[in-house]
Amino acid sequence: MTEIYTFVSGPLAWVAFGIFIIGSIYRLVSMYALAKAKDGSSLAYMSLPFGLRSILNWMIPFNTMGWKGDPLMTVATFVFHIGFLVVAVFLGAHVVLWDTNFGISIPSLPDVAGDIVSFAVIAACAIFAYRRIALPHVKGVTRGKDWFALIIVALPFITGVLAYHQVGPVLLMTILHVLAAELLLALIPFTRLSHALFVLFTRAYMGSEFGGVRNARDW
């Protein structure tokens, strides 16, 4: 089992990281080429000031009509994304990996705080799932790939919590946690989760169109 953990946390992790980097570059380049081919003129009015204005306004909870229209979704969305980044970067065990593999030394989050944030992220995922089941306008547009994306996002946190609380064989649960995280990383460019790559560009485009062409706000 130790040999499996060494392989999963070593060579396989680098494979997942490589797939993520190469896949992300491919998706970004191909999406740019597609946008240019379909409507090249739209790229001409991309504006840095209007784009940044839109991005910053949408990064503030309840600052936009969209955020105000669904308070529960707004809270869940911000909790999920902030919690995801905090745990991925600052959790103690992850800080060790940053230092070991990349020589990057950063402050670590206390284990108890990391545990609380992880539970908050899982709760946010549960809210996302509830909406897809209970709300007709969300359920109607939900497909299998949406559920798949939600599951692969939640799995690293669920397995991480189980490993931390020593539910089941600790080493096995740790291996499952690492595998879940690597699966998530590798699939980001090729699933619904690719919005993580495009969201800033999409928001900048919308802000540029509304601000530079329509002379209006997009929030």
Report yes or no on 102 lying in a domain: yes
Report yes or no on 138 lying in a domain: yes
Q: Where does the pLDDT of residue 51 fall: very low under 50, low under 70, confident under 90, or very high at 90 and above?
A: very high
Number of Cβ within a 10 Å radius of residue 13: 18
Please compute the mean of the pLDDT values over residues 26-55 and round it to a whole number. 86
Asked if 189 and 28 touch (Cβ cutoff 8 Å), the reply is no
d(CA 28, CA 11): 26
What percentage of residues in the chain have a pLDDT greater than 90? 76
DSSP 8-state assignment for residue 214: S
Q: How many domains does the chain have?
A: 1
| pTM for this prediction | 0.90
Q: What is the pLDDT of residue 174?
A: 95
- The answer to whether residue 41 scores a pLDDT higher than 80 is no
pLDDT in tens, 86-124: 999 999 989 998 988 888 899 999 999 999 999 999 999
Report yes or no on 159 lying in a domain: yes
Report yes or no on 219 lying in a domain: no
Report yes or no on 218 lying in a domain: no
What stretches of 107-143 show up as alpha helix (H) in DSSP? 111-134, 136-139
Report yes or no on 92 lying in a domain: yes
Q: What is the pLDDT of residue 46?
A: 85
Indicate the Cα dihedral angle 183, 29, 201, 136, nearest 10°: -50
pLDDT in tens, 140-182: 999 999 999 999 999 999 999 999 999 989 999 999 999 999 9
Question: Domain limits at 123?
Answer: 2-213
Does residue 84 or residue 206 have the better pLDDT?
84
Report yes or no on 140 lying in a domain: yes
Number of Cβ within a 10 Å radius of residue 93: 15
Q: CATH number of the domain that 176 lies in?
A: 1.20.950
- The answer to whether residue 193 scores a pLDDT higher than 90 is yes
